[in-house]
């Protein structure tokens, strides 16, 4: 009788555990499904735009090439260049993000000089910065900040955050990058004095089902995958991301990274 009772309690316990597992699997599946929906909506909606433009410009060029004057040709070719660049960056984002979701991103930490990665990122974004005549404030202290992370993940996170700062800040705006040590390791902040994010939207920025996104101050396009990917990469590196923003004033995206063991 006694053992029978115990047996029942044990069974009940097992069922409760199984229910919990099912519950969390259900949540995970729902999230994956939302992610998949987003993926297909991005492919069908956002990639179609630039490709329509490309095909349209090419049609005109092919049909009217003989009669078109050189300056018109030049204008169309630079439109083709801009649109191709946009289609390319959408595709790169999309592929990177889909790799994240299938667990296909490599994470091979080594000792990384954080400032070198930041300098490299700024170099790559020089063109966009110049186009919007924005200033970057960043004090490079070589060798001071050594993190134990995968350099490619860090580079991708920095590119996403600085890209956003450029995109959502007006011409002649200011972007500030600050690095410091805190209790958790190395803290990196990307700050801007741009358009900011409405208070109610900040928490939902990282949800795949979230549709909040804006075009840049110069109408720069985006698909709304940059932040979700950055967040995922920061988690992979063992850090976390903190956002503060005020509409009309600017935003600040801060994240932490583990110190390299040999660091002081």
Ligand X SMILES: Nc1ncnc2c1ncn2[C@@H]1O[C@H](COP(=O)(O)OP(=O)(O)OP(=O)(O)O)[C@@H](O)[C@H]1O
Question: Applying CB under 6 A, which residues contact ligand X?
Answer: 93, 160, 164-165, 167-168, 192, 194-197, 205, 213-214, 222-228, 251
Interacting partner of 213 out of Mg ion, ligand X, none (Cβ under 5 to 8 A depending on kind): ligand X
CB of 230 to ligand X, least distance (A): 7
Which has the closest alpha carbon to 229: 89, 116, 29?
89
Q: Which listed option, ligand X, Mg ion, none, makes contact with residue 165 (CB within 5 to 8 Å by class)?
A: ligand X
What does residue 104 show for φ and ψ, rounded to 5 degrees? Answer: -105, 10
Cβ atoms 186, 145 nearer than 8 A:
yes
d(CA 2, CA 235): 49
Q: Which is nearer to Mg ion, 164 or 191 (CB)?
A: 164
List the single partner that 179 binds among ligand X, Mg ion, none, CB under 5 to 8 Å by kind. none
Q: Quick one: 144 or 213, whose CB is closer to Mg ion?
A: 213
CB of 164 to Mg ion, least distance (A): 4
Q: How far is the CB of 23 from ligand X (least distance, A)?
A: 29
At closest approach, how far in Å is the CB of 137 from ligand X?
A: 15
Read off the tokens for 205: 């920025």
**Contact residues for Mg ion, defined by CB under 5 A:** 164, 222, 226
Q: Is the separation of the CB atoms in 123 and 136 below 8 Å?
A: no
Residue 212 Cβ vs ligand X, minimum distance, rounded to whole Å = 6
Report in angstroms how near the CB of residue 144 gets to ligand X at its nearest: 25
Phi first, then psi, for residue 65 (nearest 5°) are: -55, -45
Out of ligand X, Mg ion, none, what residue 192 binds, judged by CB under 5 to 8 A for its kind, is: ligand X
Q: Which residues are 113's β-sheet partners?
A: 146
What are all long-range contacts of 35-42, with beta carbons under 8 Å and residues at least 24 apart? 35/101, 35/208, 37/209, 38/208, 38/209, 38/225, 39/94, 39/97, 39/98, 39/101, 42/90, 42/94, 42/223, 42/224, 42/225
- State the binding partner of 168 from ligand X, Mg ion, none, CB within 5 to 8 A by kind: ligand X
Select 146 or 241, whichever has its Cβ closest to ligand X: 241
Considering beta carbons, is residue 245 or 256 the nearer one to ligand X? 245
* β-bridge pairing 146-149 and 110-113: antiparallel
152 or 244: CB nearest ligand X: 244
């Amino acid at each position: 009788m006694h053992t029978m009772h115990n047996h029942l309690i044990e069974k009940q316990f097992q069922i409760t555990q199984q229910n919990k597992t099912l519950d969390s699997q259900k949540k995970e599946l729902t999230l994956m499904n939302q992610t998949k929906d987003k993926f297909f909506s991005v492919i069908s909606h956002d990639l179609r735009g630039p490709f329509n433009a490309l095909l349209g410009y090419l049609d005109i060029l092919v049909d009217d090439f003989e009669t078109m004057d050189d300056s018109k040709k030049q204008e169309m070719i630079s439109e083709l260049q801009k649109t191709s660049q946009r289609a390319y960056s959408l595709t790169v984002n999309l592929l990177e993000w889909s790799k994240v979701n299938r667990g296909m991103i490599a994470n091979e930490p080594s000792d990384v000089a954080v400032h070198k990665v930041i300098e490299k990122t700024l170099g790559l974004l020089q063109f966009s910065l110049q186009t919007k005549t924005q200033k970057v404030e960043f004090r490079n202290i070589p060798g001071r900040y050594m993190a134990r992370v995968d350099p490619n993940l860090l580079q991708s996170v920095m590119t996403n955050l600085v890209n956003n700062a450029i995109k959502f800040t007006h011409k002649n705006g200011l972007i500030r990058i600050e690095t410091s040590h805190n209790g958790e390791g190395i803290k990196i902040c990307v700050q801007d004095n741009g358009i900011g994010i409405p208070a109610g939207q900040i928490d939902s920025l990282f949800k795949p089902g979230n549709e909040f996104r804006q075009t840049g101050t110069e109408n720069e396009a985006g698909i709304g995958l940059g932040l979700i990917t950055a967040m995922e990469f920061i988690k992979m590196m063992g850090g976390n991301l903190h956002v503060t923003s005020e509409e009309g004033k600017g935003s600040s995206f801060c994240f932490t990274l583990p110190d390299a063991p040999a660091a002081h």
